[in-house]
Amino acid sequence: MIGIDWGTTSFRAWRLGADGTVLGARAAARGILAVSDGGFAAALREQCGDWLAEGEDRVLLSGMIGSRQGWVETPYLPCPAGIEDLAAALVAVPFPGAEIRLVPGLSARDGQDVPEVLRGEETQIAGLDFADGLVCLPGSHSKWVRLEAGRVAGFETYFSGETFAALRSATILGRMMGDGPTDLAAFDRGLGRAGDPGHLLHHLFGVRTLGLGGTLAPAASASYLSGLLIGHEVGAAMAAGASVTIVANAQLSPLYARAVAARGGVATLTSPDAAARGLARIGARAWC
Amino acid sequence: MIGIDWGTTSFRAWRLGADGTVLGARAAARGILAVSDGGFAAALREQCGDWLAEGEDRVLLSGMIGSRQGWVETPYLPCPAGIEDLAAALVAVPFPGAEIRLVPGLSARDGQDVPEVLRGEETQIAGLDFADGLVCLPGSHSKWVRLEAGRVAGFETYFSGETFAALRSATILGRMMGDGPTDLAAFDRGLGRAGDPGHLLHHLFGVRTLGLGGTLAPAASASYLSGLLIGHEVGAAMAAGASVTIVANAQLSPLYARAVAARGGVATLTSPDAAARGLARIGARAWC
């Protein structure tokens, strides 16, 4: 089968053997925002036409491709939900020559009955072992997922990634910021600040005054802000000392691991292939 | 004398009698960012040349005109500081035909020894009675000022205004937002949400899910976000039930008053002429 994680800005495809072995992998900057006029079938043929021609006739898609802006909108599956529930709720997409199905996202309610949604992360979680515990999937909208009895019991979203990007691009804080790799000393300083008393909205102004006062170098201030936001997120999302599985790319994984450690917790990092494994597992249940 | 509140984006000038009476007032979109190549003397003549020609020879300036990007950079006066301290710390600016002086801003340290600064607000506070208590000056960088024994004892800044603008202009939350006057029901709903358990970074994602779920109308979502941020700020900056004097324009005053009331507090609104009164009072001490 072919498994595809098709997000807002990225397209990642895997050719998968019957036992889930990854036989081929490719990625392209063909997220749903880069596909015009609903040309998703054409984009799929463009990226994976050779695999289809070679006989692959089952394609499983996850991510924002199942949103209102995607190919076919799939309804969210309410939590609690496990891998069998996902496999039973796939949505078929008409496509000549192959069976195409979409993995639905998940919905939940937070403690105050405000809605929560995710798309794509459910497939990454399906690539884990569904062991009970807490899973963190950082990003523009970081997801903190509680697994219980082999299913997703619920989850909570933090708007940290987009907040970081907006503060950097559209406020006076960003004017001082340089590019470049994360300055870990400045990141840790931001983490420490997040643990201080005081609200995030107050701590943010410190990015400016520490810069004006010369004790935070312009090249380090983006890393400090990153530590401040991730520290606030992790401090709110996990109990001190908890164990957390982190599903993230090579850039974010070590940063979240530092934040979890600063909170006295234990972080387990997973490989970034969780989505491929999840697609294989859901597909195996759907098509067997 | 002439008193001028010269900020980043605005220029407000008052002609003041010896007893502080406002004899004339004018405003222009001639903030320091709109004055090129340091042409502050020319901009002053352009806006107030008639008053100078009629014999005014004392000009007191406050606001960002005293910053590094302004006319002459004035050092911050450390707290605690009162009106006599401000009057004794004015900085003279050479100018043919008139005495021009700049009011310095104030500096402080927060509870964790992180620097705090303000410019312009010290003059608005000088226009109040310096009665002991808590003063809130909302804006891009909201200031919460503690007055004790007739002086500014210290203050704390919240980055709420710029955060609101950045979230609105540069994140997915803003895509749903309409323009128009504040929807007070949606604002109050955001205030209520700010009082819920959970971190601001989590509450922000609810702006999106409530909109997707159809229970928060696009036209109302900017007001909800405003209530959420102001509610978080006020909840962190004041103790429940406290009394607060609010120094703000006609748009922000009622919103902060609602947030203070939602926190069980008592808000006193001041007239927006506090800056003119403050300039008159500081000038009277400096030139008498």
Same domain, B147 and B172: no
- Give the separation between CA B205 and CA A224, rounded to whole angstroms: 23
* Range of lowest pLDDT (A103-107, A128-132, A274-278): A128-132
pLDDT above 90 (res B288): no
Kindly state the percentage of chain B with pLDDT values over 90.
92
Banded model confidence at residue A99, pLDDT cuts 50, 70, 90: very high
Specify the pLDDT at position B36: 87
Q: What beta strand segments (E) does chain A contain?
A: 2-6, 11-16, 22-28, 58-62, 77-78, 91-93, 99-102, 106-109, 115-118, 133-137, 142-148, 151-158, 243-246, 266-269
Q: What's the pLDDT at A178?
A: 83
Let me know whether B20 and B76 are in one domain: yes
Give residue A273's pLDDT band: very low, low, confident or very high (50, 70, 90).
confident
**Total residue count of chain B as it appears in this document:** 288
Q: In the predicted model, what is the mean pLDDT of chain B?
A: 95
- Does residue B233 share a domain with residue B141? no
Range B105-113 average pLDDT: 95
Per-residue model confidence (pLDDT) at position A192: 98
Residues A36-63 pLDDT 10s: 888 999 999 999 999 999 999 999 999 9
User: What is the average per-residue pLDDT within B182-208?
Assistant: 97
**Nearest-by-Cβ selection for A201 from B163, B169, B170:** B163
For chain B, the residues whose C-beta falls within 8 A of a C-beta of chain A are: 110-112, 114-117, 141, 156-160, 162-163, 165-167, 169-173, 193, 196-202, 204-206, 208-210, 212-213, 229, 232-233, 235-237
* pLDDT score of B10: 92
Token representation of residue B4: 């001028």
A98-114 average pLDDT score: 96
* B44 and B169 share one domain: no
| pLDDT of the residue at B271 | 72
Prediction ipTM score: 0.94
- Which one-letter amino acid corresponds to residue A68? R
Nearest to B57 by CA among B104, B90, B15: B15
Regarding whether B128 and B167 lie in a shared domain, the answer is no
Interface contact flag, A209 B117, Cβ < 8 Å: yes
CB atoms within 10 A of CB A276: 25
pLDDT for the residue A131: 83
Instruction: Name chain A contacts of B79, Cβ cutoff 8 Å.
Output: none
Same structural domain for residues A75 and A173?
no
Same domain membership, residue B42 and residue B148: yes
Q: What is the pLDDT, as a whole number, of residue A129?
A: 79
If one counts the domains in chain A, the total is 2
- φ, ψ of residue B196 in degrees (nearest 5): -70, 160
Q: Measured between alpha carbons, how far is B79 from A151 in angstroms, rounded to an integer?
A: 56
B115:A213 CB<8 A = yes
Same-domain pairing of A10 and A150: yes
A110: closest CA among B230, B27, B58, B199?
B199
Are both A74 and A205 inside the same structural domain?
no
**CATH for A207:** 3.30.420.310
Q: Which of B162, B175, B225 to mutate to test the interface with A (most CBs of A within 10 A)?
A: B162
Nearest CA in chain A to B141: A205
Query: With 90 as the cut, is the pLDDT of residue A217 above it?
Result: yes
Distance, C-alpha B51 to centroid of its chain: 27
Whether B111 and B127 share a structural domain: yes
Q: How confident is the model at residue B83 (pLDDT cuts 50, 70, 90)?
A: very high
Residue A288 has pLDDT above 80, yes or no: no
Parent domain of A262: 160-269
In chain B, residues with a C-beta closer than 8 Å to the C-beta of A113 are none
For A114-168, write each residue's pLDDT tens digit.
999 999 999 999 999 788 999 999 999 999 999 999 999 999 999 999 999 999 9
- pLDDT at residue A106 above 90? yes
Read off the CATH number of the domain in which B21 is found: 3.30.420.300
What percent of chain A stands above pLDDT 90? Answer: 92
Q: Could you say which of B165, B197, B204 has the minimum Cβ distance to residue A163?
A: B204
> CB atoms < 10 A from the CB of A228, how many?
27
Q: What is the pLDDT of residue B179?
A: 83
- pLDDT computed for residue A179 by the predictor: 83
User: Does residue A229 share a domain with residue A111?
Assistant: no
> How high does pLDDT run on average in chain A?
95
Q: What is the mean pLDDT of residues B221-231?
A: 98
Tell whether B44 and B115 lie within a shared domain.
yes
Provide the pLDDT confidence category of residue B159 given band limits of 50, 70 and 90.
very high
- Partner residue facing B202 (CB), from A156, A169, A170: A156
Q: Does residue A176 have a pLDDT over 90?
A: no
| A78 burial via Cβ count (<10 Å: 0-12, 13-18, 19+) | exposed
Q: Read off the tokens for A176.
A: 């001082």
